[in-house]
Structure 1
Amino acid sequence: MTTLDAIIIAIVEGLTEFLPVSSTGHMIITSALLGINKDEFTKLFEVCIQLGAILAVVVLYWKKFLVFDRNRLNFYIKLALAVLPALILGYLLGDKIDMLLESPLVVGITLLLGGIVLLFVDNWFQHPEIDTDEKINVFKALRIGFWQCIAMVPGVSRSAASIIGGMQQKLTRNVAAEFSFFLAVPTMAAATGYKLLKGHELLTANPGNLTLLLIGNVVAFVVAMLAIRFFIDSLKKYGFRMWGYYRIIVGAAILVAIALGYKLSV
C-alpha cells in the first residue's frame, strides 16, 4: 500500500462511514480497484482508520460526550447497552467476518438488496414518537444495538442498519441518525482496539505502516466532519430514497463486472 492508496481509502472511509451505503463495502471495492494486496496490514488499516471518522462525531457533538452531568450518565449507559450485541457477536464471529471482508460478490449483493430496502424505509415508519435522544430508553437502545449487528455482513452498512433500527423503535429520522453516529463511537473504538491488539506487530515491525495508519486517520477525520453535515441535511430534505438508488446502481455495477469476468479481488 502506497501513501496515495492510503489517502484514497481514507477519503472513501470518511465519506461513507456515516452514510447508509457501507463504508466497509466501499473500501473493499476501492482496494480491489487500486490493486492493493489484501494482506493483514490492509485488513487492519481498513478497520483502524474508522477511528479517525468516529473522532469527527466526538468533535461535532462534543457536548454529548464531554459535558458530564446526570443526563450524560444516562446517555453513556444507553450507549454501553447498545454496543454490547456487536461486541459479543464480533468477538464470536471475528474470523468469519474477516473472510467475508475479502468478497466483492457479498458486497455487490448486499449493496443491491440494501438499496431496495432504502427505497421503502421512509414509507414504513411514518409516525415517530421520539424526537430527542433523551427519550430513548435502555430497552430501545439495546434493540437498536441488535439491529446494528446486521452490518457485520460487508455491504449492509452499520449506519443504515442502526438508523432503520432506530426508526423501527419510533425515533424520528434525525434522532435515529444522530444516535447511530453516537453508537459508532464505542462500536468502532472497540473494533479498532481489538484489531490493534491482535495486529500491533504489523506496526511495530514496520514504522512505514504506522505512518500510513496515522495519515489515513487524519484524512478520514477531516472528510467525515464534512460528510456528517452533508448527510444530516440530505436526510432532512430527501430521506433515504436517493441513497437507495445509489446503492442499487453501485451494487448492480459490481455484480455485472463480476459476471463479465472482471477481477475485483486481489
Structure 2
Amino acid sequence: MSDLIVAILLGIVEGVTEFLPVSSTGHLILATELMGYDAARWAVFNIAIQPGAILAIVVLYWRTFLAVGRGLLTWEPGAVAFVRNLLLAFFPAVALGLAFDDQIEALLENAAVVAWALIAGGIAILAVERLAKTENVLGVAGVSTAQSIKIGLVQCLAMVPGVSRSGATIMGAMALGVDRRTAADFSFFLALPTLSGATVLQLFKHRDEIGTDDLQLIGVGFVVSFVVALAVVKAFMAIVTRHGFAPFAWYRIIAGVVALAWLSLR
C-alpha cells in the first residue's frame, strides 16, 4: 500500500472520529497498526492533519465565530464569556501537555493502551448518560467559570490515547450539569485552541524530521479530514439528539474488545 493511500485512509479516519466520542488518535493508532505501518513514523502525521477537522468546525459555525468576533469589539458580555470559558478550559491542557510531552508521545505508540481506554471510556459514557442530571445553560457563554476550568481538567484525560478528547469534554460537561447540546458545542469550540496548539507543538518539535514528501502527505490528510468532518459533525448532532451518546459507548466497548483480541492473536 502506497504512502498516499495510507494518508487518504488516515485522513478519513481522522475526519470521521475527531468530533465523535470515540478517540480519533486512538483510531489512527489502531488503523496504522492494522495496515502494518510503524506507528512511530505516522505519529506526527496523525497530529498534523487535525487542523483539517478543526477547519470544518470553523466553516460549520462561522456565524457563531463572526458574532463572537463582533461582540468582542464592543466588549459584549456574552462574547467575552464565550472566549473566557474556552481559554479557561484550554489552559490545563497547555500546562500538562508541556510538562508531560515526552510521556504522552510515548503512549502514542501503544495500541494496547488505546484498546483498554476505548473500553473504559465506553463504560464511563454509559454511566454519565444514566446518572448525570443536566439543565439548559444557554450556550457556551452560559457555562460558569468553575465548570469551564473543570471541563478543561477533564479534557486532560484525553492525553491518554483512546480516551477521546471530545468524549472527555462532553461527558465531563454533562457530569457538571451542562445540557447535552451545549456540552457538544463546548467540545467542538474547545477543539480549536487545543488541537491547534498540539499540532504546532508537534510540528515544531519534529521540524527537522519532516521533509517535502511528508508535507505533501500531511496536506492530503488535511484536505480529506476536512471534507469528511464536514459531513460527520452534522450527522453526529442528529444521532445525539435522537439517541444520545449510548451508541458511541457500545461502539467503543466492542471496538476495544476486538482490538485487544486482535493484538493478542497477531
TM-score by length of 1: 0.93
The reply on whether 1:228 has 2:229 as its aligned counterpart is no
How big is each residue's C-alpha offset from its partner over 1:208-243, in whole Å with a ceiling of 9 and x where there is no partner? 111111111011111111111111111111111111
The reply on whether 1:122 has 2:123 as its aligned counterpart is no
Determine the C-alpha separation between the residues in 2 that align with 1:34 and 1:51.
23
Q: Flag structure 2 segments of 5+ consecutive residues without an equivalent.
A: none
| Post-superposition offset of 1:129 | 3.9
| Post-superposition offset of 1:39 | 3.8
Residue number in structure 2 paired with 1:210: 215
- Map residues 22-41 of structure 1 onto 2, 5 A cutoff: 22-40=23-41
Residue number in structure 1 paired with 2:20: 19
CA 1:145–1:184 in structure 2 vs 1: closer, same or farther (change >3 Å)? same
TM-score by length of 2: 0.93
Which residue of 111, 118, 136 corresponds with 1:111? 118
Letter aligned with residue 88 of structure 1: A
| Post-superposition offset of 1:28 | 0.2
Determine the C-alpha separation between the residues in 1 that align with 2:113 and 2:40.
19
The reply on whether 1:239 has 2:225 as its aligned counterpart is no
- Map residues 98-177 of structure 1 onto 2, 5 A cutoff: 98-177=105-184
Q: Is the 8 A contact 1:120 1:241 kept in 2?
A: no
Determine the C-alpha separation between the residues in 2 that align with 1:102 and 1:39.
6
Q: Is the 8 A contact 1:21 1:156 kept in 2?
A: yes
How big is each residue's C-alpha offset from its partner over 1:121-143, in whole Å with a ceiling of 9 and x where there is no partner? 22111342424222112221111
Tell which deviates more after alignment, 194-203 or 53-62: 194-203
The reply on whether 1:60 has 2:67 as its aligned counterpart is no
Runs of 4+ in structure 1 deviating by more than 6 angstroms, as ranges, are none
Q: Is the 8 A contact 2:40 2:108 kept in 1?
A: no
Q: Is the 8 A contact 1:115 1:248 kept in 2?
A: yes
The reply on whether 1:94 has 2:101 as its aligned counterpart is yes
Q: Flag structure 1 segments of 5+ consecutive residues without an equivalent.
A: none
Tell which deviates more after alignment, 26-35 or 133-142: 133-142
Q: CA RMSD in A?
A: 1.3
| Post-superposition offset of 1:11 | 0.3
Work out the percentage of aligned pairs sharing the same amino acid.
41
Q: Is the 8 A contact 1:86 1:149 kept in 2?
A: yes
Determine the C-alpha separation between the residues in 1 that align with 2:175 and 2:92.
18
Aligned residues: 258
Tell which deviates more after alignment, 145-154 or 134-143: 134-143
Q: Is the 8 A contact 2:134 2:174 kept in 1?
A: no
Determine the C-alpha separation between the residues in 1 that align with 2:109 and 2:121.
19
